[in-house]
Every structure is written in structure tokens, then in C-alpha cells.
Amino acid sequence: MRISMSLPNKLLTEFDDVLRDRGYQSRSKGIRDALKDYILRYQWMNDMEGERVGVLAVIYDHHYVGVMEAMTDIQHDYMKQINASLHIHMNEKYCLEVIIVKGDVKKIRELTEKLMRLKGVEHVKLTSAGTSNLDQLHEDEEE
């Protein structure tokens, strides 16, 4: 099946650079692989259950009107799941917000997806581990 899409020049140039560095022969193959990776990450996030501890990394354009206020409002709605946050100025345009989370994965997933949907947010990545998994690792070490 064929599709067409519009991309900003900078994004396409960066994508082409990655494809060239990785030895891809065509954009189509690179796009297929990128889509598969996106789907796998989504499925991984949806398959998580129970209590989790993790780190949310959010890169956003702090010049985008309303994005900082919206991020603050969302974080206030999830105060029970947020243990700490760190704000870093990456350059003149972008900031990185690192948010430490702990709690039920459903709430952490909601928080992650709300941040992803904000206009002005460029990238969101959740890295997490189940708290029961950590207990199991410790028990395995003791044996």
C-alpha cells in the first residue's frame, strides 16, 4: 500500500542521515522499521501492569505559547504518581523535564500520553520497571 506524507525539511534530512548511517537502501524500509518500532513501544507501554517506578523524559519548546503552563497543570493532576522533577535548559529553544514517577501503571500511562499530546512537546520517553520485578531480582540474587 502506498501512502504520502508531509514532513518538515529538517526532519526529513535528519531521517535520511540516519538511514545513510545505518546502511538503508530506501526510505520506505526505514519508515517501515520506524513504524514497527513505534508500534512495539506502544504495545509495550500498554502491556505493563501493576506498580511501576520510572523516569519520564520530556523535551519541549519553551517558546511554544502555553506549553509550560499545560505541563504544570498536568503534573499537578498526577501529584500522587510524581515523586520529583528536574528542569534543564538544553539550548535557547528547548528544555528537558525529567519526571520521576511511582505508582499504578494506568495513571503513569495517562500522564505520559497527556504530555505526549501537548502542542510544543517534541519528545516523551517513559522508562520504567515493575516494583515486583525488582523484588524478584533481589530474591534471585540471594539464592
| Residue positions forming the annotated binding site for Ni(2+) | 76, 87, 89, 95
The residues facing 99 across adjacent strands are 56, 85
Q: Could you tell me which of 79, 63, 69 has the C-alpha nearest to residue 111? A: 79
Distances in Å between the alpha carbon of 114 and those of 3, 24, 111?
Answer: 28, 34, 5
Q: Give residues with Cβ within 8 angstroms of 45, minimum separation 6.
A: 109, 112, 126
Residues annotated within a binding site: 76, 87, 89, 95
Cell of 26: 530506501
